[in-house]
Amino acid sequence: MRMPRGSGFTFFSKVRKKRLSFFLFFIVVNCQLSVVNCYSQDRRPDRPLLPFQQNASQQGNDEQLAIQFYQDHEYDKAAEIYERLFQQKPGSYYYQYLLFCWVEIKEYNKAEKLIKKQQKAEPTALRFMVDMGYLKYREGNEEKSKKIYEDAISKLTPNQQQIADLANAFSARGEYEYAIKTYLRGRDLLKNSYPFNVEMAGIYERMGDFTSVIEQYLDLLEINRSYMNTVQDRLQMLLSNDINNEKNDRFRKVLLARAQQYPDKIWYAELLWWYSIQQKDFDLAFIQGKALDKRLQESGDRLVQLAGLAASNEEYKLAMECYQYLIAKGTDFPFYDLSRRELINTRYLMALSAPSPSKQLLTGLEKEMKEEIGKSQEDPESISLTRNLAHLEAFYLKKTDEAAALLENAIEIPGITPQQRAECKIELADILLFTDDVWEATLLYQQVYKEFKNDIIGQEAKFKNTMLSFYIGEFKWALAQADILKASTSRFIANDAIALSLLISEDLDPDSNTVALGYYARADLLDYRNEEDLALKTLDSIPQLFTEHPILQQVIFKKAMIMQKQGQFIKADSLFGQLVMVYPDGILADEALMYRASLTEKKLNNKEQAMALYQELMEKYPGSIFVPDARKRFRTLRGDRM
């Protein structure tokens, strides 16, 4: 509540009178209650507040009132209270508020006396000189202010805490240049035993001088390479929130300039490697990774890491280049066998990512995988290759019996880990669902979930079992399970569970009519079994039966995804566009726009149109989870690359 205006003396006299009246009233009432309580047989008299408790209560009330005045810019009233509080309890907290209030109401003499009093109490604390310099500046004596600031810096001693305190005092007053001078002087006094680079980088960041920020961090590596993790952490924080790409652009320029100017300083190449990974610039990362691997005579760890990241980002060709490089290092290197297997696994992933891969390509890949597994002689390390071969045979070559037998044998391999066995069971359950053996599939999913309830693989099995329930029309049960899985520790499983929950809850009719949702679930299962043409026909029947239904936007989206899977990119693009146009506020609009932009960029090779679509997504759906990726793709297409 805002207090009435008036002169400070008159107002506080009224406050005191009111408080005194209340206090006398409180004493009278309290005495009466005490008399009554003394004669009472049922209760003991209340204990009176001790003196220090009374003071604390009064002080708290005064402080709240002072803060209210301060926030309301009524500094004269706030100053009167802070002066009393400071006298009762001298300290930096009340000192700072009182000094600020006096400066604001131009009580410069009082402010100067206050500062001198603090200087006398703490003669080695140079921060009070900053307060004095600030006071002179507010008085209009800028030359005097500068002289005091310079004197403060000249009085520094080889004391790290004193240096930091003075620099912080300058920074708090917005005197960033003097804060930098303080750190530079301190660096000399400490003979570079503590360089203050991180602190100066923070000052430069407040000044908006990002080039100097970056140079401070890079200079820190010049002093000691052991600061690499610190520098990377700080740079990651700096560059992560960079909407206009200004910081990233400057960092690239400064880092590349140093790497070219000082080719013998290996830490710049290492930082360039790290940054290229952060930016998913895999081509540059491959160049830097090979150079570092050769120069430092490493065993290939960087390239293994890069290959995995590239494959997970669907950069299969580059992943294969990494594995081929590692294989060429020879059989004596520790990653030779792994690289040989993962090269084939990556070819498998690339083949299945292509629309409608040819039978010749798939059979050739099958032969290559079998030969590699034969060399491994039931080595548990080849389990991932075995699972991929089983998936290829079942889902693409229609060899379901062979695929199931392959997995059943793999589960019995001596030395296989429980995790690997669970992965094989999940793949076997997927194949059983593919062949319509629903009962056996659900048993396997349940086995894995019971064994790994608290692990991601257990949650994956639970979600797959939930999808099985959805496929066979058990919608309410599937909805209940999906709602549980929303809290999954795996972001991907949680997102899929949320999507499934929305699909069912939005499209399950109030009267429990499941016809539309049943048709959609059937189409989804057909798509799972790679029967795309039947899936499309099933989806087409839904709008014929229901001219208006919430599921119709899901139908358009699903058809677009199937068209994209078949390589019918123009039709898919048209369907994504139709969805955004007809249902701009629907739950799938932002996702459809993201898919359309990616399709336009990568498959239709229309850079300008893709940029326009990414920009549309950022502007129309700023809260979408796809915005960060859209922003990255937009910048890449714009040419903001290293």
Q: What is the 3-state secondary structure (H, E, C) of 269-294?
A: HHHHHHHHHHCCCHHHHHHHHHHHHH
Report yes or no on 567 lying in a domain: yes
Which phi-psi region, left, alpha or beta, contains residue 90 (left: φ > 0; alpha: ψ -120 to 50)? beta
Which phi-psi region, left, alpha or beta, contains residue 333 (left: φ > 0; alpha: ψ -120 to 50)? beta
pLDDT reading at 3 higher than 90: no
In the listed set 103, 124, 142, which residue is the last one of a domain according to the structure?
A: 103
Report yes or no on 316 lying in a domain: no
Over residues 219-258, the pLDDT tens digits come to 999 988 899 999 999 999 888 877 777 888 889 889 989 9
Report yes or no on 558 lying in a domain: yes
Backbone dihedral angles phi then psi of residue 487, each to the nearest 5 degrees = -90, 15
What pLDDT does residue 58 have? 57
CA atoms within 13 Å, Cβ hemisphere of 227: 18
pLDDT reading at 50 higher than 60: no
Over residues 315-372, the pLDDT tens digits come to 999 999 999 999 999 999 999 999 999 999 999 999 999 888 999 999 999 999 999 9
What pLDDT does residue 641 have? 55
The pTM is what? 0.75
Q: Which of 31-35, 156-160, 232-236 has the lowest mean pLDDT?
A: 31-35
CA atoms within 13 Å, Cβ hemisphere of 423: 17
Token pair, residue 599, equals 């399709």
How many structural domains comprise the chain?
2
The answer to whether residues 467 and 500 touch, using CB atoms and an 8 Å cutoff, is yes
Report yes or no on 520 lying in a domain: yes
For residue 491, count CB atoms less than 10 angstroms from its CB and return exposed for 0-12, middle for 13-18, buried for 19 or more: exposed
Query: Which whole number is the average pLDDT over 271-277?
Result: 93
Report yes or no on 533 lying in a domain: yes
In the listed set 59, 86, 103, which residue is the last one of a domain according to the structure?
A: 103
Whole-number Cα distances in Å, 72 to 1, 75, 414, 437:
11, 8, 76, 73
Report yes or no on 507 lying in a domain: no
For residue 208, count CB atoms less than 10 angstroms from its CB and return exposed for 0-12, middle for 13-18, buried for 19 or more: exposed
pLDDT band of 24, cuts 50, 70, 90: very low
The H-assigned helical ranges of 124-227 are 127-139, 142-154, 160-172, 176-189, 197-207, 210-223
For residue 478, count CB atoms less than 10 angstroms from its CB and return exposed for 0-12, middle for 13-18, buried for 19 or more: buried
What pLDDT does residue 618 have? 95
Whole-number Cα distances in Å, 267 to 120, 295, 373, 586:
49, 12, 41, 49
Whole-number percent of the chain with pLDDT over 90? 73
Query: Which whole number is the average pLDDT over 570-590?
Result: 96
C-alpha span between 269 and 259 (Å, rounded): 6
Range of the domain at 608: 514-638
Query: Which whole number is the average pLDDT over 126-151?
Result: 95
In the listed set 103, 122, 140, which residue is the last one of a domain according to the structure?
A: 103
The domain that holds 580 is classified in CATH as 1.25.40.10
Report yes or no on 526 lying in a domain: yes
Over residues 483-523, the pLDDT tens digits come to 999 998 898 999 999 999 999 998 887 665 789 999 999 99
Report yes or no on 452 lying in a domain: no
